């Protein structure tokens, strides 16, 4: 992975990520062999107030998958 806000992906080279996208990608990359619950991801990346919005996380991950 490149520095904050950028990561290597797709054949075109560098992928530009928003800070939240980068945080999510780093969090998941550090836990490759583990299943991470929606609530845990929301709490880790968007803090405790966001644990009741799993649909937001699904849309966000879909967006991130398209970028990388």
- DSSP character string of 28-66: HHTTTTS---HHHHHHHHH-GGGTT-HHHHHHHHHHHHH
Does a structural domain hold residue 11? no
- What count of other Cβ atoms lies within 10 Å of the Cβ of residue 19? 10
Does some domain include residue 58?
Answer: yes
**Does residue 47 lie within any of the structural domains?**
yes
Is there a domain that residue 12 lies in? no
Residue pLDDT, tens place only, 12-58: 678 899 998 899 999 999 999 999 998 888 888 887 766 677 788 88
Number of domains in the chain: 1
Domain holding 46, by residue range, is 20-67
Residue 45 domain-assigned?
yes
Residue 41 in any domain: the answer is: yes
In this structure, is residue 1 part of a structural domain? no
- pTM of the prediction? 0.70
């Amino acid at each position: 992975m490149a520095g904050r806000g950028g990561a290597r992906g797709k054949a075109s080279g560098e992928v530009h990520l928003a800070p939240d996208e980068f945080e999510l990608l780093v969090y998941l990359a550090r836990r490759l062999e583990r299943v991470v619950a929606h609530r845990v991801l929301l709490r880790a990346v968007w803090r405790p107030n966001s644990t009741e919005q799993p649909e937001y996380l699904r849309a966000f991950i879909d967006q991130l998958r398209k970028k990388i």
